[in-house]
Amino acid sequence: MRIIWGIVIACLLSATTWTSASELPLVEKQVFTTTDFVTFGGETVAEVQVGWEAYGELNDAKDNVILITHFFSGNSHAAGKYHEDDAQAGYWDAIIGPGKTIDTNRFFVISVDTLVNQEPHNPMVTTTGPASINPATGKPYGLDFPVVTMRDFVNVQKLVLESLGIEKLHAVIGASMGSLQALEWTVAYPDWVERLIHVIGMAEADPWTIANLQQWAQPIMLDANWNNGDYYDGEAPLQGLQTTLGMITLGSLHPQIVNQLYAATTARESAPLENIRNNFSIVEQLRGLAAMRAQYADANHILYLIRANQLYLAGMGESLEAGLAKVNAKTLILPASNDLLLQPYLSERLYEGLKNANKDVTILPLDGPWGHLDGVYGISQYAETIEQFLKK
C-alpha cells in the first residue's frame, strides 16, 4: 500500500493522469516573449516570457480555438507527451486528443504557463516572476516583482493568442486556479469567448478562502532563510517550501481517498510512540514527495500565486454582480461535491450570480473520492456533457 500511495501522490504532484498512451503527436514547448508589460496594478515588467503548447491545427478562419488555463501547481502541459518514453501525459490527456472529448481533429487547443508559475526551475516551464532576473539590477527581482492577478495571467495569454492571429475563443476551460482565469476571460473580454467551462473554482475569494490560503504562505514566511524574500544569493527557505508543498497536496485531497490509499497508517504505529521525533509513515511520505517537488519550485513564486488567488474577484472591480453582468459566454460549472479546498458553495454562488443576471448557465456536480482533485481525475464522468456543450 505504501508503494501505491507514493505513486498516487507522485502523479498528483506532477499534475498527471493515468491514461493510455496519448494519441497526440509529440508535443513541442514554445516560448512567447513580450516587453513593457503593464500589470493590473499599474506596474511595468520590462520583459515577460511564458511557455505555451498546442494540440491540433488552427483552421484558416482561426475560430476553432480552445484555451486551457491551468491550476495552481500545474503548467501548460495539458495533454500529450514530450518524448515517447515519458511516464505520464499531460494532466487532461484523458479528454484532449484526436477523437476525444476535446477533439483535436476539430479544435486547436492551446495552453500557456502563467506568470509566477510555481516551478520556474522546471526545464519544461517558462515563466517570469520573482526568481527572474530584473534587467535593471542584473539580479533576481525577489519581492521587487509587482503583485500580479488573474487579469495579468489572462492578459499575457491574450498576447500569446494575438501573436498567432487569434481573436476569438470557441471555449476557455480551466480547473481550480484555471477556472478563475477562464472566468476572468469572459468578464474582461466577453466578445472573445463563446463558451466557458468552469471546473472546481470560484468567482470571488471569500474571507474563509483567503484565510485558508494564507496558511500555505505561513511556513515559507516563517522560515528564517526566506529573509523577506531576499534569498537568491544564499540558502533558499527549503524547510518552509517543503512544508507548504505538503500542505497544498493534502489540502487538495479528501479524507476518503487518503484513508483508502493509506489504510496501513494507524494510530498503532510503533515509531511515533517510541520517540516524539518519529513521524507516522504518511507524514514521511508527504515530506519526501514535497522535497522532490521542491527541486523545481520557488518559495516567492508560490507566495505570489497565493496572493493572486486571494485577490480574485471576477472582473477585478467593485462587486461580483458587476463583473458577472459582463459575461456573454454559455457557461458550464462543474464543482466537486467533496471539495474541501474551493468548496462547492463557491461555485454555487457563481451559478446563482449568472442565473440572476439571466445568463445561459448550467451547474453539475462532480462526484468522487478525490475531493478538489476530482476536477482533474474525475473530469471524464462528464465527457459526453462537455462534448455536447462544445457543439452548442
Which CATH number covers residue 144? Answer: 3.40.50.1820
Catalytic residue among 113, 152, 339, 374: 339
223: left (phi over 0), alpha (psi -120 to 50) or beta: beta
How far is the CA of 188 from the CAs of 154, 155, 192, 222, in angstroms? 9, 9, 9, 36
Q: Is 254 a catalytic residue?
A: no
Side-chain half-sphere of 128: how many Cα atoms within 13 Å? 26
Q: Tell how strand 195-199 and strand 330-334 pair up.
A: parallel
Q: Is the pLDDT of residue 18 over 70?
A: no
For 39-48, 120-129, 258-267, which range has the lowest pLDDT when averaged over its residues?
258-267
| C-alpha cell belonging to residue 164 | 498567432
Q: Active site residue: 176, 179, 281, 347, which one?
A: 176
CA distance 123 to 203: 32
Average pLDDT, the chain: 93
Nearest to 297 by CA among 377, 242, 341: 242
- pLDDT 10s digits, 325-377: 999 999 999 999 999 999 999 999 999 999 999 999 999 999 999 999 999 99
Q: Is the predicted pLDDT of residue 57 greater than 60, yes or no?
A: yes
Check if 339 is active-site. Answer: yes
pLDDT at 8: 45
Q: Per-residue pLDDT for 309 more than 60?
A: yes
Rounded distance, CA 360 to CA 194, Å?
A: 11
Identify the pLDDT of residue 338. 97
User: Which residue carries 483552421 as its cell?
Assistant: 59
Over residues 136-144, the mean pLDDT reads 97
Q: Which residue type sits at 278?
A: N
- Give pLDDT tens digits for 218-238: 999 999 999 999 999 999 999
Active-site annotation holder among 73, 93, 372, 374 = 372
Q: Which pLDDT belongs to residue 33? A: 98
* Among 238, 232, 208, 251, residue whose Cα is nearest residue 73: 251
Nearest to 24 by CA among 55, 54, 46, 2: 55
* Partners of 199 in beta bridges: 175, 334
Mean pLDDT of all residues in 291-295: 93
Residue range 142-163, pLDDT digits in tens: 999 999 999 999 999 999 999 9
pLDDT at 119 over 90: yes
Predicted pLDDT at 1: 34
Model confidence at 40, in pLDDT bands (50, 70, 90)?
Answer: very high
Q: What span, in angstroms and rounded, lies between the C-alpha atoms of 296 and 122? A: 5
Q: What is the pTM of this model?
A: 0.93
150-163 and 177-188 helices cross at what angle (nearest 10)?
70
Domain of 147, in residue numbers: 2-391
Domain total in the chain: 1
pLDDT band for 186, please (50, 70, 90 cuts): very high
Note if 372 is an active site residue: yes
**22: pLDDT confidence band, cut at 50, 70 and 90?**
very low
Q: What is the distance of C-alpha 219 from the center of its chain?
A: 21
Task: Check residue 144 and give its pLDDT.
Answer: 98
